[in-house]
Structure 1
């Protein structure tokens, strides 16, 4: 018993946080195998739609003319209106494109070619797909025919705007004008007229603008000349009044301030060096260590000589001490000499320190004098700087007026020249010719777009169908989403027409109304029976005791749990004592299937306290016992009855008398009966309908009842469609290898009967 709980706890912990299965290439291939009919239907539909359009569309012709906008020519009008004289080529080019699309050019073409009176131009060629909606719109809101010349011109403008395209060729300065019409000659004439009227409009607008710009420049130049002269005179008067002397473009006061600042920096450097020398030599004198004398002795011959004598006396002292000992008279004499040399060295250092102190005093005095001079020079420079700010402002104003005067004078001369010889920067480089072949409909493009739309619609429809498929389809999905053991598949079995005849049953025997209830015993080598044997193996491993009490449950009604329970009971009874109890007190499906003739059952056993076998029916072939539920009236408190002590005593009696006790329980989502009897059970087997029951619902039920998940032996996917199951195979999954395993499975009733009889003999 403890071993079973340990195994289950390990299983629950291993899958405590199930995650959605990752999407791989194999999943994409499986989706394509399942949804290719929908994808192909969408593709064929859009290809047929595109073909119908190509067949019914009216042929139209497109004529093209090219206009070059010469960016090398000087843009006189734009330059006159810009002080900097720089042209933004990109913005100017986009402006020319919009000018070609403008109503002014369009109306000029309409009036020049009399297009409002051309019936072929005004009729156009509407898209055949728009004829039906336009007809319906006209029916509900009748169109008023245009009246008057202005209305006809406005209608012609709409036709030109619809059928004309203005586009830039790459990154060049060439604009392509294309017009599409029912006639090749009409398309060529309109495209040519647009280019011609565009050039005429450019020439007229440029001539008028140049004339107006020249008149304005002449007045502006005279004003700028007077302002420039007045600004120069103001600069000279201000310089003379404030005595601002300049040498090499710099005020004399500023030059003096710079020189004093450099001198002050040098004096500060000298003071810091002197201070550092004084502090260093004072530290050596205060320490009294002869090792510190070495640095300053390098610059003093006296200290250097004394140092050499000190070292020689020290060496001799060491030799004598080593040979004769510390008390020798010569060692005492050498020690006194060393002390004398050390005193002389430090006396010399004190003299040097005094000279450094004098140098520091001189440097400090010089730094103070230069600082006082800097303060005075700074005051003078500040006064001059304030005055110079006003001077610079006047000089800047004078230079600005002078530059403006020169610039506008140059532009005026250019404008005068342009008035005598006006030119445009645009010219036609390719005139429109009547096209030979129609441009619409573009059959390859239409078919290509149809293919793309068909593929997109097919992919969308396939994705929608896949997203709508919320049921469990594979065992790997059960393990990954729920974290439970997958016990196997049970195929959707059709009614057995050719099943073997059975002898008539007695009053206390099972009477099966549905041949599917005997499928596992009639076809013991089928995949159906193999899945049920897998349930038995899981029960043996998880519940190592006799008298295993197992509940058969489902999440919702109609998933086939009663059929599974009946077949499992008959299969288990072939090798072990088995009793099946119909504990679905509200909807006893197992009783309706195999025991409609029963008069007594579970309720009578609970009330009388008799053993379960006293009211049980027996299967004559397998020997399985079945305790039905006879519904003589509605039971309002079925959950309390299943959770009662009477039910616990009944299950205990059944467990003592039989190896397996199976309970066909109600679904767990709508009612609580299965949860009420949970404390009396050893395990559950959860039956889920293949492709129908939402995984989210199953996961929520198991999450809400942790004990139910802990006691669950595994999940069976029931009512599997074998033909559709092939479409959900993925490489490496158990379904992928289903075909090679068919040699181990047989569904031949004749073969089964022979095998059973041989086994009985």
Structure 2
């Protein structure tokens, strides 16, 4: 016979076994068809829970108020003081949101509205489940059983305040309106009036906190500025005193914002110029009068001569004498005594005038000497002042450094004094960067529970939960469902599927036993014979063809095995043998000595069988029973006691002789062998079997069990003709069909199948 390659667990099959089904459209549709009831149940449960919540939940109301971060007020504050105002960017808006959620604002509202003592606000505010949970917590709390001291009461009050704060934060929703500077504050409570009062209280507390924060900031700034002002005032006085001491120590006296030495130097320069001009003028006057005296010029004139009354008188007399001398000379001649006398008088008058000029020249000389002496004195003083100024200039470098320090402290002192005055004014200026633009009012309609949203959420959760459960069920579906799984996981030929047969369609029990005939029960042991055109019979014919093609012998020994008990191998073996017996001589041997299912189905009243043939040397012909309908020969296994060495019997020489004798008489010998998992009987007789048919229960036997069992039985796997899926639920089988598979076209096969008896 042709030997098939020994089955081995391939790596890709192992990966396929561990993975969930491939996710494609056909697969998703198939999963939805298979698991829609699970999803529907989950959706129904979630919807029921949602309806219960809607019916039992306490209505809640949401009141909203709007606060504007007013930039115009901030600009006013900035104009009044350099302390207030910050840019209203995204971060600052988010900071205001966090401020509204802060503990300071919340506790302020709790204290103002006395929410910790408000039973309506501190109640559960939920449905009956939350109320029951709250009651249970109060009952099991030991503090409610025993009286507490004052510290315990204070702790309870503080806990109530914290619980009220937590409820405010949990029920508060703050959102920014678009990209504007408006913050909308929403509060949810069990009462419309309570929601409106809490929302309004939060807005008022926010504004008060802004005012208090600004006042506190300006107060701290004023205190700090006052300390700095006192320090700067002292520094300014010390630096100014250091400047004055340095001036006094270095003679750097100042008058009219200038050093006295610099003023003296300027004055001496001016005086020296004047002295030099006076000296030059006196020298010029002296030189002029000396020239007149040296040349004897009687008609020369100097300024002081014009002012001299003596010279003017002598000149008048001189002119008068000259006039008379001229007249006398013209009348009496130049030699006249009167003319001579007059000329003598004129000479005397000239001498007297030159004597007067000499006196004036001496005064000019004296004036020149005075001017020169004054010039020398001024020059000497200028020299001394210049030395003093040079020394003062070197010292002024240090003086200017001290003056700059003093000026700096003075400016800082004035600046901080101005800021202090602004801070004092800011403390009493009640302006913030925020204002309320929409007051909270009690809402007319409840905001919670929103039936549409609750039901929609429950619907979505139901689908998600159902999808999760369905996915888990699909992931955990490790059973054989289709022929493709048989080929992919086991690498064996898929012979077909045997549908789960309704026992009512089986032939009724024949209660008239005849010696040597097979006794039928009202089960499915003869279903293939009674329904030859059914898919059951077609699968068995597929198994026969596989045996004919793969076993190149005229007499074929076929073993029917399964991995686990209860998979229906005996039913398949009986029906296969009956189908073969219709056209060929066939012997069915119940070789399951531990659990003879075929014997119970066909000959439960038999007295002797395979055990007597093997152990007591009974003739096989004496133990073989005959089915009058199909002509099937059946060798039952009558088990009257437990057989611990069943594998040895199947591998014994007696069994070998039995098979050899049967091969000479029958074309097909079908052995109903024990399952491979519990016992080793099939392995013991495997060498004498021409081909095995593996029966796997549909939807019940794990793929891993079948694969591992066959991997441990290479001698059986190498001779395996194929796999039959037994007990297939035809209705559920449709849910596992994939596009292009044989199951997908199963509906077209119905015209060739007739499940009713022919």
Residue 659 of structure 1 corresponds to: 667
CA distance in 1, matches of 2:465, 2:64: 36
Summarize the Cα distance change of 1:561–1:191 in structure 2 as closer, same or farther, 3 Å threshold. Answer: same
Q: What is the TM-score normalised by the length of structure 2?
A: 0.67
Summarize the Cα distance change of 1:42–1:14 in structure 2 as closer, same or farther, 3 Å threshold. Answer: closer
2:41 aligned with 1:52: no
Residue 478 of structure 1 corresponds to: 486
Aligned-residue offset at 1:405: 13
1:595-628 per-position Cα deviation (integer Å, ceiling 9, x unaligned)? 2232222223224667644531111121121111
1:484-533 per-position Cα deviation (integer Å, ceiling 9, x unaligned)? 11111111222246737869453222112244111111111111111100
Matched position secondary structure for 1:39: helix
Residue 554 of structure 1 corresponds to: 562
Summarize the Cα distance change of 1:493–1:118 in structure 2 as closer, same or farther, 3 Å threshold. Answer: closer
Summarize the Cα distance change of 1:159–1:462 in structure 2 as closer, same or farther, 3 Å threshold. Answer: same
- Whether the aligned pair in 1 keeps the contact of 2:221 and 2:423 (CA below 8 Å) is no
1:269-298 per-position Cα deviation (integer Å, ceiling 9, x unaligned)? xxxxxxxxxxxxxxxxxxxxxxxxxxxxxx
Residue 34 of structure 2 corresponds to: 34
Summarize the Cα distance change of 1:578–1:187 in structure 2 as closer, same or farther, 3 Å threshold. Answer: same
Aligned-residue offset at 1:455: 1.2
Residue 159 of structure 1 corresponds to: 164
CA distance in 2, matches of 1:405, 1:574: 129
Which region of structure 1 is more displaced relative to structure 2, 402-411 or 432-441?
402-411
1:410-450 per-position Cα deviation (integer Å, ceiling 9, x unaligned)? 79866653542344222223221222222122222111111
| 2:698 aligned residue (690, 695, 707) | 690
2:418 aligned with 1:426: no
CA distance in 1, matches of 2:42, 2:456: 14
- Whether the aligned pair in 2 keeps the contact of 1:579 and 1:627 (CA below 8 Å) is yes
CA distance in 2, matches of 1:192, 1:51: 34
Summarize the Cα distance change of 1:151–1:141 in structure 2 as closer, same or farther, 3 Å threshold. Answer: closer
Residue 718 of structure 1 corresponds to: 726
Aligned-residue offset at 1:645: 2.9
CA distance in 1, matches of 2:192, 2:549: 87
CA RMSD, 1 decimal: 3.8
CA distance in 1, matches of 2:189, 2:410: 55
CA distance in 1, matches of 2:494, 2:506: 32
| 1:737 aligned residue (739, 745, 748) | 745
- Whether the aligned pair in 2 keeps the contact of 1:46 and 1:453 (CA below 8 Å) is yes
CA distance in 2, matches of 1:483, 1:138: 66
- Whether the aligned pair in 1 keeps the contact of 2:56 and 2:127 (CA below 8 Å) is no
1:372-392 per-position Cα deviation (integer Å, ceiling 9, x unaligned)? xxxxxxxxxxxxxxxxxxxxx
Residue 499 of structure 2 corresponds to: 491
CA distance in 2, matches of 1:604, 1:477: 42
Which region of structure 1 is more displaced relative to structure 2, 212-221 or 443-452?
212-221
Look at both structures and tell me which one has the larger radius of gyration over its CA atoms.
Answer: 2
Aligned-residue offset at 1:580: 1.1
Which region of structure 1 is more displaced relative to structure 2, 617-626 or 178-187?
178-187
Matches within 5 A, 1:127-142: 127-141=127-141
Matched position secondary structure for 2:516: coil
CA distance in 1, matches of 2:222, 2:488: 84
Summarize the Cα distance change of 1:191–1:503 in structure 2 as closer, same or farther, 3 Å threshold. Answer: closer
Residue 632 of structure 1 corresponds to: 640
Aligned residues: 569
Which region of structure 1 is more displaced relative to structure 2, 61-70 or 604-613?
604-613
- Whether the aligned pair in 1 keeps the contact of 2:7 and 2:714 (CA below 8 Å) is no
2:574 aligned with 1:566: yes
Which region of structure 1 is more displaced relative to structure 2, 209-218 or 479-488?
209-218
CA distance in 2, matches of 1:513, 1:597: 11
CA distance in 2, matches of 1:183, 1:29: 49
Summarize the Cα distance change of 1:66–1:650 in structure 2 as closer, same or farther, 3 Å threshold. Answer: same
CA distance in 1, matches of 2:450, 2:664: 84
- Whether the aligned pair in 1 keeps the contact of 2:626 and 2:632 (CA below 8 Å) is yes
Matches within 5 A, 1:397-408: none
- Whether the aligned pair in 2 keeps the contact of 1:46 and 1:451 (CA below 8 Å) is yes
Residue 168 of structure 1 corresponds to: 175
Summarize the Cα distance change of 1:685–1:124 in structure 2 as closer, same or farther, 3 Å threshold. Answer: closer
CA distance in 1, matches of 2:543, 2:233: 105
- Whether the aligned pair in 1 keeps the contact of 2:235 and 2:409 (CA below 8 Å) is no
Summarize the Cα distance change of 1:220–1:546 in structure 2 as closer, same or farther, 3 Å threshold. Answer: farther
1:128-176 per-position Cα deviation (integer Å, ceiling 9, x unaligned)? 3312333344444488499979856753653353144142315654433
Which region of structure 1 is more displaced relative to structure 2, 515-524 or 703-712?
703-712
- Whether the aligned pair in 2 keeps the contact of 1:53 and 1:129 (CA below 8 Å) is no
CA distance in 1, matches of 2:728, 2:409: 91
Aligned-residue offset at 1:116: 5.1
CA distance in 2, matches of 1:595, 1:531: 25
- Whether the aligned pair in 1 keeps the contact of 2:61 and 2:448 (CA below 8 Å) is yes
Summarize the Cα distance change of 1:465–1:509 in structure 2 as closer, same or farther, 3 Å threshold. Answer: same
Unaligned segments of structure 2, at least 5 residues: 240-406
CA distance in 2, matches of 1:409, 1:744: 113
Matched position secondary structure for 1:564: helix
2:212 aligned with 1:207: no
Summarize the Cα distance change of 1:131–1:117 in structure 2 as closer, same or farther, 3 Å threshold. Answer: closer
Summarize the Cα distance change of 1:16–1:120 in structure 2 as closer, same or farther, 3 Å threshold. Answer: closer
Summarize the Cα distance change of 1:405–1:149 in structure 2 as closer, same or farther, 3 Å threshold. Answer: farther
CA distance in 1, matches of 2:454, 2:731: 38
Matches within 5 A, 1:85-124: 92-115=92-115, 118=118, 120-123=120-123
Unaligned segments of structure 1, at least 5 residues: 231-401, 753-761
Residue 179 of structure 1 corresponds to: 187
2:542 aligned with 1:534: yes
CA distance in 1, matches of 2:550, 2:9: 16
CA distance in 2, matches of 1:700, 1:522: 36
Matched position secondary structure for 1:470: coil
CA distance in 1, matches of 2:726, 2:190: 65
CA distance in 2, matches of 1:496, 1:101: 74
